[in-house]
Amino acid sequence: MAGTELQPTHVSTAEVPSAEWGWSGEAPRLFRALGWIFAVFLLLMMIGNHSGWVENLYLIGFAAVIVFILVRDIVRRRKPR
């Protein structure tokens, strides 16, 4: 039973309130995956029953911004610091 106990973290609950209940991290891989999924979803929304191009331009623009942020993140992670 001692092997399954969580190690105490040295995070102040004043700085990170979620540390009190055991999780005080981020999930960067999940966020990146959701970013790609959301960008593809925005592009798939162009298939529909609308007739104007304004909606498509907004969808393409928002998807391009998301993809730009994700690609910039990939490049930044590969650069040695």
pLDDT tens profile 40-73: 999 999 998 888 899 999 999 999 999 999 999 9
pTM exceeds cut of 0.75: no
Residue 46 lies in a domain: yes
Residue 35 lies in a domain: yes
What is the tally of structural domains in the chain? 1
> What span, in angstroms and rounded, lies between the C-alpha atoms of 8 and 33?
29
Report for 22-26, 30-34, 51-55: range of highest mean pLDDT? 30-34
Q: What is the extent of the structural domain holding 45?
A: 26-81
> What span, in angstroms and rounded, lies between the C-alpha atoms of 16 and 13?
5
Per cent of the chain over pLDDT 70 is 69
Of the candidates 65, 69, 60, the residue with the CA atom closest to the CA atom of residue 32 = 69
Of the candidates 39, 30, 44, the residue with the CA atom closest to the CA atom of residue 69 = 39
Dig out the tokens for 56 from the structure. Answer: 């498509």
